[in-house]
Structure formats: structure tokens, C-alpha cells
Amino acid sequence: MSLAPQEIEKSASKYASAAIKYDSQGARGMAITHYQKAIDTLFKLLHLYPDSKLNKIYRERMKSY
């Protein structure tokens, strides 16, 4: 995987981590916002790299958020 998809994936991971933190603190609105950003970022990966072998994993992550 080249650097660009790795950076996008890293960004999605940061959003998801923040969402989990906010969720555990009871800040539901912030958690929802960050979960949505994580989903949107993974969705971007799916469309930019439609032939990636990791797309199945990205879809599973999106469903879990």
C-alpha cells in the first residue's frame, strides 16, 4: 500500500479512537460526529482504491461504527 492510503486509514483510525473516547465519557454527540467522520474517511478509501485487498476490512469497520 502506498503512503496516501495509509495516511487516510490512519486518519480514520484517529477519528474512531476519538469517538470511542467521547462515547466512554458520555459525550454522545461528539462520539457520533467522530464515528461519522471515520465512516466517511473509510468510504473515501473504498472509492479512491476500489481494487484494494483491504476493502473488505474497511467495509467491516464501517459497519461496526
Are 19 and 65 in contact by the 8 Å Cβ rule? The answer is: yes
Task: Give, as one character, the DSSP assignment of residue 14.
Answer: H
Q: How many CA atoms lie within 13 A of 17 on its CB side?
A: 6
| Cell numbers given for 17 | 479512537
The predicted-structure confidence for 23-64, as pLDDT tens digits, reads as follows 999 999 999 999 999 999 999 999 999 999 999 999 999 999
Q: Kindly report the CATH number that applies to the domain delimited by 3-64.
A: 1.20.58.80
pTM, two decimals, is 0.88
Confidence at residue 2, expressed as pLDDT on a 0 to 100 scale: 61
